[in-house]
Structure 1
Amino acid sequence: MQNDFIYLDNNATTPLDPRVLASMMPYLTDMFGNAASSHKMGRQIKTAVEQARGQVGELLDVNEEDIYFTAGATEAINIALQGIPARAGQAKHIITVQTEHPAVLDTCRYLETIGVEVTYLSVDDTGLIDFEELKQAFQDNTVLVCVMFVNNETGVIQDLTKIADIAHERGALFMTDATQGVGKFPLYVPGKIDILAFSAHKFYGPKGIGGLYVNPYVRLKSLVYGGGHERGLRSGTLNVSGIVGLGKAAEIAQQEILRDEGRISQLRAQLEEALLQIPGTRINGAVENRLSSTSNICFDGVDNEAMLLGLKDICVSNGSACHSLVMEPSHVLLAMGLTKEQANSSIRFSLGRFNTEEEIKHTADAVSNAVARLRAMAF
């Protein structure tokens, strides 16, 4: 893809794969009908929707009827987190983690205002939870454990199999926000994960569409009424072009995930090799248990806002895109033990399918020059 900038913010959103756009176009033009209509066009469009549901099911290796389409991961997370306590009667205790995405944390804070008790687990300096702390957090009324698969800021990968086993041994459901992992990293769902949320735009699909996998024995209370769409869980006219795009993105990911992962991992290694030669730099979070595309690096003594402005034609991030306008240090990095100064000196580089070696070389040089310039200005 040709742009006048270098895009290394793929954890915020990925570019739309041209193959995905091509699959969507008929449903933005001639095939514009409603998937719930009973006429010929409606039936054909419904077939396309169910084909996409099958493509997502194949990527996750789950039954397609257990996939529910939503407007994205944030809505999916809300449906799940609010729907579980509503079904659980008086049993209202949830366990989650301090480093979760705001979609989880803000929903849990809302749930606390209506009587749900929430335990927020800590993480170590690598960003991983402590299994003993998890075990000790359970109560008689614990109904759900919610732990992110891949952290959006550091790329750290939690051991979902171990966490799910602990939750199930104690009679609780296990849910994961897999937004940063689906389509980028192999994920084993059957028998382990009860609820899983994801978004298309994190793996080269369109914005405004995502989904929820729900194990068939789990019953969620709907938050949206008015037509009974998505088997009553999420009413509203379906975003057909988005759903078709999501399905195509899932199909491409299933075919190319290992190739993408290997190539992107090499590009990240090239970037880190260059940047870690700069004095006073280090990787934030686990080095090994990490998504191949993500590198969160602390540059001692460098203000990350000044860095972003200085890089000009290079798109990187200093935290979650959902809170990009809030001038606060990353809650993820603070939970991992970094000081406010260190958190405010950290930059996230997230690579993707369309990045090149030339872009990585240019970025390494530009960052090195920016760090030297900003440090010189500070003294």
Structure 2
Amino acid sequence: MLYLDNAATTKIDDSVFEAMLPYLKDSYGNPSSMHKKGIEAKKAINDARKSIAKHLNCSHDSLVFTQSGTMAINLAIKGLSMMNQNKTEIITTKIDHKATISTCKYLETQGFKVTYLDVNREGYINLEDLRKAITTKTLLVSIIWANNEIGVIQNVSEILKVTKEKGVYLHLDAVQMLPHYSIDLESLPVDLMSFSAHKLFGPKGIGLLYHRPGMALSPLIHGATQEFGLNAGTENVSGIIGFSKAVENAYTYYHKKQEALKEKTDLLEKKLLETFPCYINGPKSNRLPGLLSVSFKDQKGHELAYELSKKGIYVSTGSACNESSIELSHVIKAITDDTPGVIRFSLAYDLTNEDIDYIIQSLKDLLE
């Protein structure tokens, strides 16, 4: 089996699973309970939050655990918008994740105006377009830092300069960025940033939102006062512990493996371009390591993915959130007028040269 869909989700790391186990079995107390097991669980959450904050270089009380990266994005955009209804304009891009675009579409029904910035053929926004789109009524700019389909990494330091200059909030979707690169929120002082554990060999069902200290957000879910009153409901203790361990592993091990991952991706790209009538979607450089979006001429992506799966090669046709549809994804539509068969390869760290040869031969068998 060759699992090449790591941008959709990753296999949980053994050390993460082991860290979670005690909180699934013995330390099962409700963190809101005022007895030994409850206090034990609450302390574990606090320690996990502080550990993640240390790695991200931010205050621990500016981190809110959520049920997913999607919820973190919703909390960032809706939570800020509901607290600042005197400013009713939001800016995002045409290639942001559906979590952002769908949230913005909802806010349009609530009276907000949303600008969806165009991108160029490689997926980059134009900073001058961003600057011109900001008005006195603009509240928030929300940008996907590293795109989950084509791997383009936006120049967020320059974007931050624009939003600071214009006096508007900036939210970054860093769900795909954190698995590959260390993030320092002291050096990149954005207002909001969202994350997800299952993209970095952590568990599903747990996300995280960073918000600048002192920011007022409206909760999405109302109930008790968990997570500083921003996410009511009994905490996913084992998930939080797993998230913390996954972040620790990323900063300790995985972030140091990106050059080797890039070399494997470059080799796969080279052999694909040499062998087939295809082209690469997104940038040729400054792309997420391990991610390769390939368009095969005169093919259907979903059919290729299905046939590859029968050979034990698991890939995606774009974003995992689009897998129920056979239409071209909104990201590909935003960068090209063509309608090719798109396959997304997203590699982990165990792919060998022999595996790459098997991928090429398997595709040859299918396309011939």
TM-score, length of structure 2 as denominator length: 0.96
Residue equivalent to 1:122: 118
Tell me, what secondary structure is at the counterpart of 2:253? Answer: helix
Structure 1 counterpart of 2:80, one-letter code: I
Q: CA deviation at 1:258?
A: 3.1
Residue equivalent to 2:282: 285
> How many pairs align?
365
**Which runs of structure 2 are paired with 1:303-342 in the superposition (5 Å)?**
303-311=300-308, 312=310, 313-339=312-338, 341-342=339-340
Structure 2 counterpart of 1:27, one-letter code: Y
Q: Which stretch of structure 1 is more off in the superposition, 64-73 or 297-306?
A: 297-306
Partners of 1:302 and 1:266 in 2: CA distance: 27
Tell me, what secondary structure is at the counterpart of 1:14? Answer: coil
Residue equivalent to 1:242: 239
CA deviations on 1:139-171 (whole Å, 9 max, x unpaired) are 111010000011010111001111111011101
Partners of 1:353 and 1:279 in 2: CA distance: 25
Residue equivalent to 1:219: 216
Q: CA deviation at 1:360?
A: 2.6
**Which runs of structure 2 are paired with 1:31-70 in the superposition (5 Å)?**
31-70=27-66
2:192 to 173, 190, 195: 195
Is 1:113 aligned with 2:102? Answer: no
8 Å contact kept, 1:283–1:297:
yes
8 Å contact kept, 2:182–2:251:
no
Residue equivalent to 1:252: 249
Partners of 2:276 and 2:7 in 1: CA distance: 26
8 Å contact kept, 2:178–2:200:
yes
8 Å contact kept, 2:23–2:238:
yes
CA deviations on 1:325-368 (whole Å, 9 max, x unpaired) are 112111101101232x22xx111000113434433332222123
Structure 1 counterpart of 2:337, one-letter code: L
Alpha carbons of structure 1 residues 208 and 163: separation in structure 2 relative to 1, 3 Å: same
Is 1:101 aligned with 2:100? Answer: no
CA deviations on 1:227-285 (whole Å, 9 max, x unpaired) are 11001111110000100000000000010133221221122122112111124211111
Tell me, what secondary structure is at the counterpart of 1:147? Answer: strand
Is 1:210 aligned with 2:210? Answer: no
Partners of 1:353 and 1:200 in 2: CA distance: 18
Partners of 1:338 and 1:19 in 2: CA distance: 45
CA deviations on 1:58-99 (whole Å, 9 max, x unpaired) are 232212211110001111111111111111132111000000
Partners of 1:287 and 1:33 in 2: CA distance: 50
TM-score, length of structure 1 as denominator length: 0.93
Residue equivalent to 2:22: 26
Residue equivalent to 2:365: 369
In the alignment, structure 1 segments of 5+ residues that lack a partner are 374-379
Residue equivalent to 2:230: 233
Partners of 2:170 and 2:4 in 1: CA distance: 32
Tell me, what secondary structure is at the counterpart of 2:275? Answer: coil
Residue equivalent to 2:147: 151
Tell me, what secondary structure is at the counterpart of 2:90? Answer: strand
Alpha carbons of structure 1 residues 281 and 289: separation in structure 2 relative to 1, 3 Å: same
Q: Which stretch of structure 1 is more off in the superposition, 37-46 or 136-145?
A: 37-46
Alpha carbons of structure 1 residues 242 and 355: separation in structure 2 relative to 1, 3 Å: farther
8 Å contact kept, 2:171–2:193:
yes
Q: CA deviation at 1:216?
A: 0.5
In the alignment, structure 2 segments of 5+ residues that lack a partner are none
Q: Which stretch of structure 1 is more off in the superposition, 97-106 or 260-269?
A: 260-269
Tell me, what secondary structure is at the counterpart of 1:326? Answer: coil
Aligned CA RMSD, in angstroms, stands at: 1.3
Q: CA deviation at 1:23?
A: 0.5
1:78 to 74, 80, 83: 74
Structure 2 counterpart of 1:10, one-letter code: N
Is 1:170 aligned with 2:202? Answer: no
Q: Which stretch of structure 1 is more off in the superposition, 122-131 or 253-262?
A: 253-262
Residue equivalent to 2:291: 294
Partners of 1:279 and 1:309 in 2: CA distance: 19
Alpha carbons of structure 1 residues 331 and 169: separation in structure 2 relative to 1, 3 Å: same
1:15 to 11, 14, 27: 11
Q: Identity across aligned pairs (percent)?
A: 38
